[in-house]
C-alpha cells in the first residue's frame, strides 16, 4: 500500500470513506439504542476471521478499522495464518461477522491495491 497508489485513485478512496462513515453511523445508532433502552439484545461473541490482506500495514489498517467501529473489537492478529480474532457485541452467527469483515476488507483492498 503506497500513498501514490491511493492518491492515484481518489474516487475509490472517497467512496470507501463514505461507506465507512455510513457504517460508523449505523453502528453508533445500534450501540446508542442499546444504551438508552431498558431491554438489551446484546449477543456478544468472539469469531476467528480469515483475511486476505497482505503485509503488516494492510493487516493493521483492517484491524484498526474493525476496532474503530462501535460494537466490534479486534482482539488478536495472527499474521502467520492471516487470521483476526474479532469480538462482536451483536452476533447472530459467526458467519455474519465474517461476512461483515470480508465486506470491509474488500472495500479496503479496492483502495490500496
**Predicted confidence (pLDDT) per residue in 93-110, tens digit:** 999 999 999 999 999 999
Domain encompassing residue 29: 3-112
Distance CA 9, CA 112 (A): 9
**How many domains does the structure of the chain reveal?**
1
* Residue located via cell numbers 500500500: 1
Distance CA 86, CA 18 (A): 23
Mean pLDDT calculated for residue range 51-70: 93
Residues ≥6 apart with Cβ < 8 Å to 31: 70, 71, 89
Task: Supply the mean pLDDT for the chain.
Answer: 91
Q: What is the largest CA-CA distance in the chain?
A: 49
**Predicted confidence (pLDDT) per residue in 17-50, tens digit:** 999 999 999 999 999 998 898 887 889 999 999 9
pLDDT at 6: 65
0.85 exceeded by pTM: yes
> Strand 45-50 to strand 83-88: parallel, antiparallel, or no bridges (unpaired)?
antiparallel
Distance CA 4, CA 74 (A): 28
Amino acid at each position: 500500500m503506497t500513498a501514490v497508489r491511493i492518491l492515484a485513485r481518489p474516487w475509490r478512496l472517497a467512496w470507501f470513506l463514505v461507506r465507512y462513515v455510513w457504517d460508523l453511523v449505523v453502528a453508533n445508532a445500534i450501540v446508542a439504542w442499546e444504551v438508552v433502552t431498558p431491554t438489551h439484545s446484546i449477543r456478544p461473541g468472539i469469531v476467528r476471521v480469515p483475511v486476505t490482506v497482505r503485509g503488516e500495514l494492510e493487516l493493521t489498517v483492517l484491524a484498526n478499522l474493525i476496532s474503530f467501529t462501535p460494537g466490534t473489537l479486534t482482539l488478536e492478529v495472527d499474521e502467520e495464518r492471516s487470521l483476526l480474532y474479532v469480538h462482536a457485541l451483536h452476533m447472530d452467527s459467526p458467519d455474519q461477522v465474517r461476512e461483515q469483515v470480508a465486506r470491509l476488507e474488500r472495500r479496503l483492498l479496492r483502495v490500496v491495491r
